[in-house]
Amino acid sequence: MSKVRVGIINVTGYIGMDLARLLYGHPEVDLISVTGRSAAGQRLGDIVPHLADINLEITTELDLVDLVFSALPHGENIETVVSLLEKDVRVVDISADFRLKDAAEYQKWYKQKHSAPDYLNRAVYGLTELNRDKIKNARLVANPGCYPTGAILALAPALKQSLVNPDIIFDSKSGASGAGRTLTLHTHYAELNENIAAYALEGHRHLPEIVQELTVISGKPTLYVTFVPHLVPMTRGILTTCYSSLIDGVLAGKKPQSEIMDIYKEFYAKEPFVRVVNTPPRTKQTWGSNICLIYPSIDIRTNRLIVISCIDNLVKGGAGQAIQNMNLMLGFPEKAGLESLPVYP
């Protein structure tokens, strides 16, 4: 039986590349077409040598496929996605264009009017663990941002179970690949190695996405979320440290550390890609894989819940989750193509 045909728009970005890498080993699909503007006309392996075994030419226009991963920069991406949907092609959109439900919020954070606001509510926010059923029937999945993936998974159990107050801080530490392949002084090797910095203190575009989804989970009208990302001298990986305070009386009279561990383990018990661990995780334990590691703990001196989550920003925070979503959309086993273990050390 023939495999499902898939394509990647803008394969030369880091998430595009990692989609190609993972799809190469996927048992149910054939990657048959990849685009990339500046590199059109060249072999994929000439631009991205580690993918030389994928025997494809980079083109300007995508061939006819059944499902597309669109990894264009936000904005210019909208028209492309809408046009694919109109041709009845399923889309997993890697950009930020269909993540926010509110067109006004989109405009506020992305500084442009959304050109297809009707599609915002048809898109399913593709944080697989939280929206699995909707994703199964989606034509358009808005793949989450890398930071929101780690942040939301870390706090979803506590908010769902009403353990914590609505005051929340996410302190995230990301490797440089999250900033993409576009050259900047901040990601110039001599500037970044042996260096760490906080950035976007005035507000990062992933904040509204985090707030939107956590608000739904919590059922509360308002959450007070602070999100501070940091750029760390490493290539892959996001570690997010989440701080919130336990609601008075919660976990009272119990051993809080073992109690919170039980709650988290139960919440994610059936998840193939989320593992609640007994010791603080490290980002490299997720290198190249779709796993998310989560460690909840209670600071008994201050009654705060502290949760650490680790992901590979290009996989669970990008290409891997996109394929996980594709698997659901196409009725494949959720782990198909995503079974390789992390590469460590």
Catalytic positions, written as ranges: 146
Enumerate residues 178-197 that contact its own copies by CB under 8 A. Answer: 181, 183-185, 187-197
- Nearest to residue 232, comparing CAs of 189, 170, 174, 186? 174
- Nearest to residue 236, comparing CAs of 302, 161, 320? 320
- Nearest to residue 298, comparing CAs of 164, 149, 133, 109? 164
Answer for which of 112, 121, 258, 302 binds its own copies (CB under 8 A) is 302
- Nearest to residue 70, comparing CAs of 29, 119, 15? 15
Residues 156/218, Cβ–Cβ less than 8 Å: no
Taking the complex as a whole, the smallest distance from the CB of residue 302 to its own copies amounts, in Å, to 4
338 binds its own copies (CB under 8 A): no
Taking the complex as a whole, the smallest distance from the CB of residue 20 to its own copies amounts, in Å, to 8
Taking the complex as a whole, the smallest distance from the CB of residue 296 to its own copies amounts, in Å, to 10
Q: Is 83 helix (H, G, I), strand (E, B) or coil?
A: helix
Answer for which of 4, 40, 54, 217 binds its own copies (CB under 8 A) is 54
Q: Which two tokens stand for residue 152?
A: 């939301």
Q: Is the peptide bond before 27 cis (omega within 30 degrees of 0)?
A: no
CB closer to its own copies, 75 vs 272 = 272
Taking the complex as a whole, the smallest distance from the CB of residue 70 to its own copies amounts, in Å, to 21
Enumerate residues 145-174 that contact its own copies by CB under 8 A. Answer: 167, 169, 171, 173
CB closer to its own copies, 63 vs 339 = 339
Q: Which helix (H) or strand (E) holds 215?
A: helix 206-218
175 binds its own copies (CB under 8 A): yes
CB closer to its own copies, 131 vs 289 = 289
Residues 6 or more apart in contact with residue 289 via CB below 8 angstroms: 312, 315, 316, 320, 338, 340, 341, 342
CB closer to its own copies, 134 vs 230 = 230
Size, binding site for its own copies by CB under 8 A = 82
Answer for which of 4, 134, 297, 334 binds its own copies (CB under 8 A) is 297
Enumerate residues 202-261 that contact its own copies by CB under 8 A. Answer: 202-203, 224-226, 228, 230, 232-237, 239, 241, 243, 245
Q: Is 310 helix (H, G, I), strand (E, B) or coil?
A: strand
286 binds its own copies (CB under 8 A): yes
Residues 44/20, Cβ–Cβ less than 8 Å: yes
Enumerate residues 11-40 that contact its own copies by CB under 8 A. Answer: 14, 17, 21, 24-25
Tell me how far CA of residue 18 lies from CA of 51, 247, 287, 298, 310, in angstroms: 9, 41, 12, 36, 18
Enumerate residues 266-285 that contact its own copies by CB under 8 A. Answer: 275, 277, 280-285
Taking the complex as a whole, the smallest distance from the CB of residue 294 to its own copies amounts, in Å, to 12
Stretch that binds its own copies, among 65-73, 94-102, 122-130, 288-296 (CB under 8 A): 288-296
Residues 6 or more apart in contact with residue 219 via CB below 8 angstroms: 162
Q: Which helix (H) or strand (E) holds 201?
A: none
53 binds its own copies (CB under 8 A): yes
43 binds its own copies (CB under 8 A): no
DSSP 121: T
Taking the complex as a whole, the smallest distance from the CB of residue 133 to its own copies amounts, in Å, to 25
CB closer to its own copies, 112 vs 257 = 257
Residues 84/32, Cβ–Cβ less than 8 Å: no
Q: Which two tokens stand for residue 122?
A: 């048809």
Enumerate residues 111-150 that contact its own copies by CB under 8 A. Answer: none
Stretch that binds its own copies, among 88-96, 117-125, 201-209, 258-266 (CB under 8 A): 201-209
